[in-house]
Chain A
Amino acid sequence: MVSYLVKRLLTMIPLLIGITIICFVVIHLAPGSPTDLQTELSPHASVEARERLMALYDLDKPIHVQYLLWIKKLATLDLGHSFSPDGRPVVDKIAERLPITIIINVLSMILIIAVAVPLGVISAVRRDSLFDKATTIFVFVGFAIPTFWLALLLMILFGVNLGWLPISGIRSLNYEYLPAWQQHVDLARHLILPVLLSAFGGLAGFSRYMRANMLEVIRQDYITTARAKGLSERVVIYKHALRNALLPVITILGLSVPGLIGGSVIFETIFAIPGMGQLFYLSVMSRDYPVVMGILFIGAILTLMGNLLADVSYAAADPRIRVSS
Chain B
Amino acid sequence: MSEKVLMKGNEAIAEAAIRSGCRYYLGYPITPQTEVAAYMAKKMPKIGGVFMQAESEISAVNMVYGVAATGKRCMTSSSSPGISLKCEGLSYLAACDLPSVVVNVQRGGPGLGGIQPSQSDYFQATKGSGHGDFRMIVLAPSSVQEMADLTSLAFDLADKYRMTSMVLADGTIGQMMEPVELKDDMHETHYDKPWACTGTKMEREHNIINSLILKPEILEQLNLDRYEKYKVVEENEPRYEEFMMEDADICIVAFGIASRVSKSAIVEARKQGIKVGLIRPITLWPFPEEPIRIAADKVKSFISVELSMGQLIYDVKLASQCKKPVYLCSRVGGMITSPDYVLKKIIEVNNLGGASV
Chains A and B form a bound pair: no
